Structure 1
Amino acid sequence: MKTLLSLAHLIDWVNDRFATLAKWAVVLACVISAGNAILRYSFDLSSNAWLEIQWYLFAACVMLGAAQVLRVNEHVRVDVIYGQFAGRGQVWIDLFGLVFFLLPVMALMIYYSAPLFVRTFVSQEMSNNAGGLMRWPVILMMPLGFTLVLLQGLSEIVKRIGWLMHVHEMDLHYERPLQ
């Protein structure tokens, strides 16, 4: 179990690095958006490439940051049932959701998005817009992001099993009683 927990912490560390990239993607997208608006309204200058890079960066923010949201336990969850339990009950619900929903869905998303990335990379597909960008960098965000979420899901499973076995102390909300 100690080896699996070490692997889980490595996955957490990797996702922390990608989360930093996601944060910078937000900042950069905002700067580009503001700069583009200033140029467009002040000097009547614009470029499709600047517009496209904004949504490329937004895709990077969402796809590279999703695993971190799972890691820090801030993901969307329906608390109707979950909120009725504390401690072990919440851990078991998390495990059920991770094993039977998150992992299969992420595997399916990787299965469908990876060939799309390969196809756009090999063909060097370009945007149809004048002055548009290559498409493969933004398409890469899908299989990469889904893989990061899948890995983080595995990390969360290991940490929760470790918590149930009293091998690992999770710094999550499980220790707090419901109020």
Structure 2
Amino acid sequence: MPISRLIDALNEKIANAVSWALLIAVIICAGNALVRYLFKMSSNSWLEIQWYLFAALFMLASAYTLKRDEHVRIDVITSHFSKRTQVWIDLLGYLLFLLPVCLVIVYYGIPFARYSISTAEMSSSAGGLIVWPVKLLIPVGFGLLVLQGVSEIIKRIAFLAGHIDGHEFARHASTPQQEIEAIKAANKL
């Protein structure tokens, strides 16, 4: 569990830091639009930096999303199972799907990013930016996802062994029934 808590803390800190990328992207987007309409000036680099910031937010916060258990799930089906069965489904999903796919992406992403760095790759757009920082996000982001997957596996095994009660990975997302109730309530307004 200490390793799991360390990984969780790392991904929380990274997600909190990178969350500012959204605000920065919105400010750049608004500023770029104002400059474009008021002064009839623009640059592809302003558009690309917005894409880079969004990529950073998405890639570096994905592990945090997994930690919070707010990723895409099949709750419509699994919500009818016992907690223990749900944990087994999670564990098998992490071992058979999440980790292998993420490890393959990291394996191929490292030389992909390394090549971009070694060639000082630039965007093909006029006035574009260097490309390697966004390509480096691929192995880094999926590496963080691998680490979080390991953390989640540790928690599921600890639960199945009776060492924890499961609050460490309690679902934060709403159940399908809660979603239906929220939609009904919103429609009554």
TM-score (norm 2): 0.87
CA deviations on 1:50-100 (whole Å, 9 max, x unpaired) are 110000001001101110110000000122431221210110000010000
Q: Which of the residues 82, 85, 89 maps onto 2:81? A: 85
Match of 1:55 among 21, 30, 51: 51
| Residue 127 (structure 1) aligns with | 123
Give the structure 2 partner of residue 23 of structure 1: 19
Separation in structure 1 between the aligned mates of residue 37 and residue 29 of structure 2, nearest angstrom: 12
Q: 1:39 aligns with which of 30, 35, 42?
A: 35
8 Å CA contact 1:126–1:132 kept in 2: the answer is: yes
- Given that 2:109 and 2:139 are in contact with CA atoms closer than 8 Å, whether structure 1 keeps it comes out as yes
Contact in 2 for aligned 1:21/1:64 (Cα 8 Å): no
The answer on 1:137 being equivalent to 2:133 is yes
Q: Is the 8 A contact 2:68 2:171 kept in 1?
A: no
1:113 paired residue among 109, 112, 122: 109
| Residue number in structure 2 paired with 1:68 | 64
Cα deviation for residue 164 of structure 1 reads 1.5
SS state of the match for residue 127, structure 1? coil
Q: Distance in 2 between matches of 1:161 and 1:92?
A: 9
Unaligned runs of 5+ in 2: 178-189
Q: Name the SS of the counterpart of 1:33 in structure 2.
A: helix
Q: Where do 1:2-17 residues align within 5 Å?
A: 5-17=1-13
Alpha-carbon distance in structure 1 between the residues aligned to 2:22 and 2:2: 30
The alignment of Structure 1 onto Structure 2 pairs a total of residues equal to 172
Moved over 6 A (4+): none
Asked whether the equivalents of residues 22 and 62 of structure 1 are also in contact (C-alpha less than 8 Å), the reply is no
The AA in structure 2 aligned to 1:68 is Y
CA displacement, residues 25-71 of structure 1 (integer Å, 9 cap, x when unaligned): 11111111011001101111211111100000010011011101100
CA contact (8 A) 1:110 1:143 kept: yes
Alpha carbons 2:59, 2:138 under 8 Å: kept: yes
User: 2:147 maps to what in 1?
Assistant: 151
Distance in 1, matches of 2:44 and 2:76, equals 45
Contact preservation (8 Å) 1:21, 1:61: no
TM-score (ref. length: structure 1): 0.91
User: Do structure 1's residue 163 and structure 2's residue 167 form an aligned pair?
Assistant: no
Percent identity of the aligned residues? 49
